[in-house]
Amino acid sequence: MKSYRIGLIPGDGIGPEVTAQAVKVMEAAGSLFGFSLELTHYPYGAEHYLSTRQVLPDHALEEMEGLDALLLGAIGDPRVQPGILERGILLKLRFHFDQYANIRPVRSFTPGPLGSVNAVVIRENTEDLYVGIGSTGDGAVNLPLEVTRGGYVMKGQLSAFTTPPKRFAMQVAWHTLDGAARACQYAFDLALDLGAEEVTLATKSNAVRDLYGIFENACHQVASQYESVSLRVENVDALCYKLVRSPGDFRVILCPNMFGDIVSDLLAGIGGGMGLAPSGNVGDRLSMFEPVHGSAPDIAGQDRANPVASILSGAMLLRHLGETSAAKAMEDAVQRYLSGPVEELPIEMGGRLGTRGAGDAVVRRLEESP
């Protein structure tokens, strides 16, 4: 029997609650479709950090090289200063394994007040403001870069920005032509697969010319290689407006990293809830699958979280490994479950089922499948 080596990082808050349901459904799918999961548990997250001061050690990254995929719950805890765990674990993994495309499908399972959505956000995942180069200080900072401001170039010292010197913070946003192009190519190939006619790019080059200008240029170059898919360019502010007004008009949405973060939560809200939106961080090396949502400390430990996003992330993982029928069966089981009686829906969707109950309900639908 085929066996897949999966690294499991349950993480914080509702992370362990929802990944337990995803693993349960994936294992049930394995029994039906003839494969097994060899799970390696990783303890990284707030508890581990608070007791050891260790975030994510290098030896774990080396060990992970031998895995087929990672399944992650969520990272982040109110007891730890924001950014320590998120940057140190989650973003570290995305950057270390060069997971350059973050695929975030959002689909309304039940009609929402704003209409139905069936879209995929492709979020560039290794550049933009997320590169993590920044500093704070008082007065002057020596920059490693040339900075353009108001059309002229300033070199060396940022103190010239503030006279007299004030406390400042700066953060570098970075795009490369190739980095944008590979995410864009992913989006166009996906559009071809889905039979979509256009890819919508979220940009903001009207205000931030260099950074989003290079992203647009990369996309125009890629788009010229595709005959049946066209590029539609929208400023991200207007795009958010249009998504709320007519979400059904969009099928594939390509975003630079930061806009993709925001647009995907907006779409999750339109599509029926944070607990429904899965994602995959993919690249040419180890890929990682996780819900779009975070650790939700407000509902953690109460068996209230919707596990569907994690279950659907598990389905994306299996599809990535080539287990297409199992992935489809899991998605169909979720679809059948969510089309059932309202009182059996997850609490987030107005029903009564907690995290475990919703996971069990999906397993039942899977095992009933034809």
Other Cβ atoms less than 10 A from the Cβ of 101: the count is: 24
**CB closer to ligand NAD out of 323 and 348:** 348
Which of 124, 234, 261, 348 lies at the binding interface for ligand IPM (CB under 6 A)?
261
Which of 295, 317, 320, 327 lies at the binding interface for ligand NAD (CB under 6 A)?
295
When asked if residue 270 is in the footprint of ligand NAD (CB under 6 A), the reply is: no
Q: Which helix (H) or strand (E) holds 308?
A: helix 308-320
> At 144, phi and psi to the nearest 5?
-80, -5
When asked if residue 268 is in the footprint of ligand IPM (CB under 6 A), the reply is: no
When asked if residue 30 is in the footprint of ligand IPM (CB under 6 A), the reply is: no
Instruction: Record the tokens describing residue 234, joined without a space.
Output: 């929208």
Interface mask (CB under 6 A) for ligand NAD, residues 9-38, using x and -?
-----x---x--------------------
Which of 12, 77, 86, 127 lies at the binding interface for ligand IPM (CB under 6 A)?
86
Other Cβ atoms less than 10 A from the Cβ of 297: the count is: 16
List C-alpha distances in Å: 230 to 183, 213, 352, 368.
Answer: 15, 18, 44, 41
Residue 92 binds which entry of ligand NAD, ligand IPM, Mn ion, none, CB below 5-8 Å type-dependent: none
Nearby residues of 187 by Cβ (< 8 Å), 6 or more positions away = 101, 122, 199, 252, 254
Q: How far is the CB of 183 from ligand NAD (least distance, A)?
A: 18
Cα–Cα distance for residue pair 40/17, rounded to 1 Å? 17
Which of 26, 74, 158, 181 lies at the binding interface for ligand NAD (CB under 6 A)?
74
> At 70, phi and psi to the nearest 5?
-115, 145
Q: How far is the CB of 105 from Mn ion (least distance, A)?
A: 15
When asked if residue 76 is in the footprint of ligand NAD (CB under 6 A), the reply is: yes
Binding site for ligand IPM (CB under 6 A): 76, 86, 90-91, 261, 292, 294
